[in-house]
Chain A
Amino acid sequence: MNLLGRLLPAVPLTTGALLLTGRFTVGRRRLDPAAPAAAVLALAATLGLAVAAALARPAVRFPLFGRLPAGLAVDGLSAALIVTVAAVSLAVVVFAAGEFGADESRARFFGLMLVFTGAMLVTVTATDLAVLLMGWEVMGAMSYALIGFWWRDPGRVGSADVSFLTTRAADLGLYFAAGAALAGTGSLDLAGLAAGRGHWPDLIAAGAVLAALGKSAQLPFSFWLSRAMDGPSPVSALLHSATMVAAGAYLLLRLGPLLTATGWAATLVAWAGALTALLLGAVALAQRDLKQLLAASTCAQIGFMVLAAGAGAVAGGTAQLVAHAAVKSLLFLAAGTWLSALGTKDLGELHGAARRYRLVGVTFGIGALALAAVPPLSLWATKDAVLAAALADSPALYAVGLAAGLLSAGYAGRALIAVTRPTGAAARGATGRHGTRRLGPLERLPLPVLALGAAVLGVLALPPVDGAWRDLLGAGGEPAASPAELAVSGALALVVLAVTWTFVRRGVRARAAWTAPALHWLHLERLARTLVARPVFALAQALARFDDRVIDGGVRVAAATGRRAAALADHRVEVRVDGLVDAVGRGARWLGAAARRPQTGQVHTYYAQAAVLLAVLILIVLLVR
């Protein structure tokens, strides 16, 4: 049992580490060709281990820092997540194995992907905050390395910087939470966080919520996900679906009891999720770039999970997470296919893409319809499960969530229509230039699998499977969506799709001034730069100036004073001392010359001197007596 628990993260982590370090020992040339196969095999094994672990529920316990209980364990929530993570990662890596050619640094890429996946597995199986933080941090670091994978392009590295700094800044909340947990409960155990005394649970919840919102790209941190699009498409597919952003949602779902215990945190989280779903849905609607649209839609969909966590709908939220992982990885892989095949991701230039690449088109269509929550596809059911819980919580929350759901139908419709419309005259030249690439079998293989998942995973939130699902997650008493709600939301999604289709057909365009904020992601990045980055830089510069002028200045003044004193000593004192020394020397010479004067060489002068001196001596003796 323990072995299983340890192997699950160990297989991808070890393989990844070997691939990464092997570049320096075996060499890229020999390692690169083997890397994709190794990664696929490792993740296939991981999937097998995940399934086994989901069934066997292993638990590993070990003391951390000498005394703190820590460990890895698979419970219902973890079981759902490890299987999802392993499956999606496998699908993405299989796709990447087909897409990444010999000209790429494959060992590095697949190594990073494996470590990324392994870190996510650690995060979702950790039973305490310390181990969770380890996985959390490694995942953040890997996301940085993956987003900036094409590091020769300064723009991509800049995007990696923004992503990493944003999530990393929010991560500090988790450290704060860990500290507070240690102080408040004396342990880092996740299950015991809500039992803290006094205001400690509030502090823990505040830190954890901050970190989760940052990692999940919820408001106000959403902008980093836009910048994260600069990574390779498989990275986006993985990062947006089962890892990274899902980690935040997972953490909130996991800490549900704590959020409830504080009283305010659950509401805050619910509203943060709902508002993110609504506003980022609007952002997605305004995007002209397919990957940006999908990124914003990720924020919005994760918003539903966060809303679920806040509303206490663990089953609904988890179902949403699992279904969304399949949908979003599918959509990103398809978008990535077109990007590499057609050289564009602009919605206006992708017309006809679905027709040219049928398999990609069909699977993308299933994914987009699922995203639009069209019955009976997956997100339709899961979203309604979440909304049912929101309704039980507060009607306003439900209204916002419902509106957000309508927006998702809108942007999914826009994307779907854009790729299925017949090729326009304007775009024909462009596609003609680029549309020569054939898709390999490895690239095709994951798409139908993921499409199947996107289509059917809704059953998790529908009778009769939903009961088992709740039992799995230990969330028996959650409200289920009533058939009426399901029907209304399904109908609304269809209506919105139709309206969207009509608008697009007629070429209706909203005024640029209205869409500008949404197009630019609500100017969140600029706000972050203005409100956070600039004051921090200003503070840093002020401190630097303080350092330069006051501290450094003090040192320099001290040095200058020393020099001045030295100069003073040189000009005033030294001259005199020197003069004194010279005078002593001259005096000694003069005295030496004088001392030889009596030595006349003539005996009569010697006699006289001797006599006189003896007389003087007699006088001295007589006088002193």
Chain B
Amino acid sequence: MTRENPADLLPELCVLGTAVTGLLTGSFLPRTRQWIVAVLCGTGLVAGLVTAGLAARRADLTTFDAFMLDPLTHVTRIVVTAATLLVIGLAAGPLRGHRRESEFHTLLMLAALGTIVLGAASDLLVLVAAYLLAGIPGYVLAGFGKDAPGTEAALKYYLMGAFLGILMLAGVTLLFGLGRGTSYETLAAGLGTAPGGAVAVGVVLLLAGLMFKAGAVPAHFWVPDVTEGAPRVVAAFVTTVPKIGAFAALYRFAVQALPPGRDDWPLLVAVIAAATMTLGNLAAFAQRNVRRLLAYSTIGQAGYLLVPIAMAGRTDLAEPALLFYLAGYAVTNLGAFAAVIAVGRDDLLAYTGLARRSPLLAVSLVVCLLGLVGTPPTAVFVGKLLIFGAALDGHYTWLAVAAAVNSVASVFYYLRWIVPMMRRRDGGGERRPAPSARWIAYAAAGGSLVLGIGAGIPLAIG
């Protein structure tokens, strides 16, 4: 008897309902009052956050045969809704009075919904649907500015997503045939007896789509181009939120769909992880555009996040490491983007003298950047610690070493950004940074510190 209680999906329903309501409301509202949609969306997200928090206290269960309600889902829900809330806060300034403001928020909500479903799905077909739901609003958002770079970014994003989505569908088809089902439960039972080579091909093809969402090698190409071309708020969103769902889905697939005892998965993901973090960090070295720099930085972070995926099922540290890192990464990365939005310039030189111009913003940015490096006492530091621990615990020492070396190397490009901020010369950024973005930056930096210092509390609960 399958459980089919809609109340189990209350957070998702909140987000969906807000999206639909927002779209309808926005259609009837004059342009000057479209901010009501933003408030509506914010309210919906808060409601989703609250219901997700309440749901997290319940025991694990499967609902509608395709949704797992377990800590992974709970954290995905909470982090995605919270991150989306932050993005709405970031959007308040740039999109104030925009002619398509309500559409922006509706798309944002739908993408968030797709991301949550991505992380919660325990069926390949739902996964594909979630992939599309999380992806298509994102493509539209990338081109939201209707300008040349945005259009190019949207097109590239879409084309990459379409290509890798087709590969993913091929992989799903293959696994469906081999495992005689799409449910993870069925797959876990069926794939064990299927020919291993064919399963491996199917898994790699499935990974293609999820790597696209995660922004990892070999599907990372869209990340720098979209981050640079799309509006800044969108860039903050697409480099942060979809990843959360993608990594949750990857972890869930590894733990629940793959038959136990397959040792090619850790190797496969570890290779991808090492390649991703190395490529991201190396490519970030000489960037002069802070958005491209952050884009490559997110690729590097995706590489770190793949480490617990590779260690899934091999060590108990993997799940807390992944979840904590996801939360820490989301808040820190959004903080960095918030600072970029507040300053309003992409050129690295524009940040010269920021510490004099707006000290608090500079401090927030420094906290976020050092957080991305993994400096104590920020949240990412704790996450990184857990990740290294997971790699060592799973007997992948070389992966831990690679991650450590990459962390050290990453200091270089973050410092290239931080150091000029402390100089006297004025780089000429925004005189009065956008207030909402500024406050979001402060909040994100503070949140990163709080999450890092109080790391014991969520880890103890989880």
Interface residues of A (CB under 8 A from B): 588-589, 591-596, 598-599, 601, 603, 606-607, 609-610, 612-614, 617-618, 620-622, 624-625
Contact = CB atoms under 8 A, between A and B. Distances in A.
Interface in B146-186: 155-156, 159-160, 163-164, 167
Closest 7 CB pairs of A and B: A613-B218, A592-B285, A595-B282, A595-B283, A606-B221, A621-B200, A592-B282
A617 B225 contact: no
Interface string B182-215: 0000000000000011001101110110000000
Nearest to B295: A599
Given A610-B218, A617-B272, A625 B264 contact: yes
Nearest to A610: B218
Contacts of B271: 617, 620
Contacts of B219: 610
Contact of A606 (B156, B268, B412): B156
Contacts of B204: 614, 617-618, 621
Nearest to B271: A620
B218 A614 contact: yes
Interface string B270-303: 0110000011001111100000000000000000
A609 B271 CA distance: 16
Given A595-B279, A603-B159, A607-B163, A621 B286 contact: no
Contacts of A598: 221
Contact of A599 (B159, B197, B224): B224
A606 B282 contact: no
A599 B282 contact: no
A610 B282 contact: no
Contacts of A594: 282
Contacts, number: 83
A160 to B, nearest CB: 70
Contacts of B197: 622, 625
Given A588-B409, A594-B282, A617 B268 contact: yes
A599 B217 contact: no
B267 interface: yes
Contacts of B200: 618, 621-622, 625
A365 to B, nearest CB: 101
Contact of A624 (B208, B264, B272): B264
A588 B282 contact: yes
B156 A603 contact: yes
Contacts of B268: 617, 620-621
Contacts of B282: 588, 591-592, 594-595
A31 to B, nearest CB: 68
17 contacts: A588-B409, A589-B285, A592-B283, A595-B278, A595-B283, A599-B225, A603-B156, A603-B160, A610-B221, A614-B205, A617-B271, A620-B267, A620-B268, A621-B204, A621-B264, A622-B200, A625-B264
Given A618-B204, A624-B264, A625-B196, A610 B285 contact: no
Contact of B221 (A592, A609, A621, A624): A609
A215 to B, nearest CB: 78
A482 B285 CA distance: 121
Contacts of A621: 200-201, 203-204, 264, 267-268
A613 B211 CA distance: 12
Nearest to B201: A618
Interface in B421-446: none
B204 to A, nearest CB: 5
Given A599-B283, A618-B201, A610 B196 contact: no
A74 B264 CA distance: 110
Contacts of A595: 278-279, 282-283, 285
Contact of B225 (A593, A601, A620): A601
Nearest to B224: A599
B413 to A, nearest CB: 9
A607 B164 CA distance: 9
A534 to B, nearest CB: 71
Contacts of A592: 282-286
Nearest to B157: A603
B363 to A, nearest CB: 28
Q: Which of B163, B225, B283, B284 has the most CB of A within 10 A?
A: B283
Interface in B22-70: none
A407 to B, nearest CB: 98
A594 B279 CA distance: 9
A601 B92 CA distance: 31
Interface string B212-237: 00000111011011000000000000
Q: Which of B204, B217, B271 has the most CB of A within 10 A?
A: B204
Contacts of B218: 609-610, 612-614, 617
Contacts of B279: 595
A609 B224 CA distance: 16
Contacts of A620: 267-268, 271
Nearest to B159: A603
Contact of B160 (A588, A589, A606, A618): A606
Contacts of B203: 621
Contacts of B217: 613
Interface string B323-336: 00000000000000
A613 B264 CA distance: 17
B283 A614 contact: no
A398 B197 CA distance: 132
A588 B285 contact: yes
Nearest to A618: B204
Contacts of A614: 167, 204-205, 208, 218
Given A588-B409, A610-B160, A614-B218, 18 more contacts: A589-B285, A591-B282, A593-B286, A595-B278, A595-B279, A595-B282, A595-B285, A596-B286, A601-B225, A606-B222, A609-B218, A609-B221, A614-B205, A621-B200, A621-B201, A621-B203, A621-B267, A622-B200
A580 to B, nearest CB: 15
A591 B196 CA distance: 36
Q: Which of A607, A617, A621 has the most CB of B within 10 A?
A: A617
A620 B217 CA distance: 15
Contacts of B409: 588
Nearest to B282: A595
A617 B197 CA distance: 12
Contacts of A624: 264, 267
Contacts of B207: 617
Contact of A589 (B164, B272, B286): B286
Interface in B336-383: none
A610 B218 CA distance: 5
B238 to A, nearest CB: 16
Contacts of A618: 200-201, 204
Nearest to A585: B412
Contacts of B163: 607, 610
A618 B196 CA distance: 12
Contacts of B222: 606
A366 to B, nearest CB: 100
A601 to B, nearest CB: 6
A593 B282 CA distance: 8
Nearest to B268: A621
A42 B222 CA distance: 111
A613 B220 CA distance: 11
B335 to A, nearest CB: 25
A599 B264 contact: no
Contacts of B221: 598-599, 606, 609-610
A409 B243 CA distance: 126
A592 B155 CA distance: 26
A325 to B, nearest CB: 90
B268 to A, nearest CB: 5
A594 to B, nearest CB: 7
B275 to A, nearest CB: 8
A540 to B, nearest CB: 61
A242 B243 CA distance: 110
Contacts of A622: 197, 200-201
Q: Which of B200, B203, B217 has the most CB of A within 10 A?
A: B200
A335 B49 CA distance: 118
